[in-house]
């Protein structure tokens, strides 16, 4: 999708985060404390990225997951911005900036995917069928 189309489709915050590598405020974003069961999709491509049962309370103020749903859909990039060296995570298909991954998460992976809500769209498990994601219903 072209950047101009995305500006029309996404909110200002979604565009800033997903397309311009921005960061939304902690504890003031849509999914940081979401406890519903369901699937988190890439805001640009609609591809499934994370499942609710891989989400955990990290205390960071952003949704945190210990593993992605489909690791082939997650791209890791070295990020040397802000005087730090971090690992940025982006979506493969949508090329959206998602957030960063850190090695301080829980078992079984020890990873913490710290993700911006603005890069995601959440589909509750009871709406998967109507969203065209019925094949994922078996995961819940």
Domain boundaries, the chain: 3-125
pTM of the model: 0.95
> Catalytic one among 114, 115, 120, 123?
114
b/e per residue 108-139 (b: at least 16 CB within 10 A): eeebbbbbbbbbbbbbebeebeeeebeebeee
Q: Are 10 and 43 in contact (CB under 8 A)?
A: yes
Q: Is 50 helix (H, G, I), strand (E, B) or coil?
A: strand
Give me the pLDDT at residue 80, please.
Answer: 87
Q: pLDDT digit string (tens) for 71-113?
A: 999 999 998 888 889 999 999 999 999 999 999 999 999 999 9
Give me 13's structure tokens: 């915050």
Give me the pLDDT at residue 76, please.
Answer: 97
Q: Is residue 114 flagged as an active site residue? A: yes
Give me the pLDDT at residue 61, please.
Answer: 97
Structural class in CATH, domain 3-125: mainly beta
> Out of 26-40, 51-65, 70-84, which region has the weakest mean confidence (pLDDT)?
70-84
Q: Could you tell me the pLDDT band of residue 1, with boundaries at 50, 70 and 90?
A: low
Q: Which residue do the tokens 């369901």 mark?
A: 38
């Amino acid at each position: 999708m072209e950047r101009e189309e995305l500006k029309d489709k996404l909110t200002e915050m979604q565009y800033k985060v997903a397309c311009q590598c921005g960061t939304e405020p902690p504890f003031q974003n849509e999914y940081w404390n979401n406890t519903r069961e369901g699937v988190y999709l890439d805001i640009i491509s609609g591809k499934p990225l994370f499942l609710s049962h891989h989400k955990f309370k990290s205390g960071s103020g952003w949704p945190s997951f210990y593993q992605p749903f489909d690791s082939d859909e997650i791209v890791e990039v070295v990020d040397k911005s802000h005087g730090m060296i971090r690992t940025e995570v982006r979506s493969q298909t949508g090329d959206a900036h998602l957030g960063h991954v850190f090695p301080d998460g829980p078992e079984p992976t020890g990873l913490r995917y710290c993700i911006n809500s603005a890069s995601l769209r959440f589909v509750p498990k009871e709406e998967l069928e109507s969203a065209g994601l019925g094949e994922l219903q078996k995961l819940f």
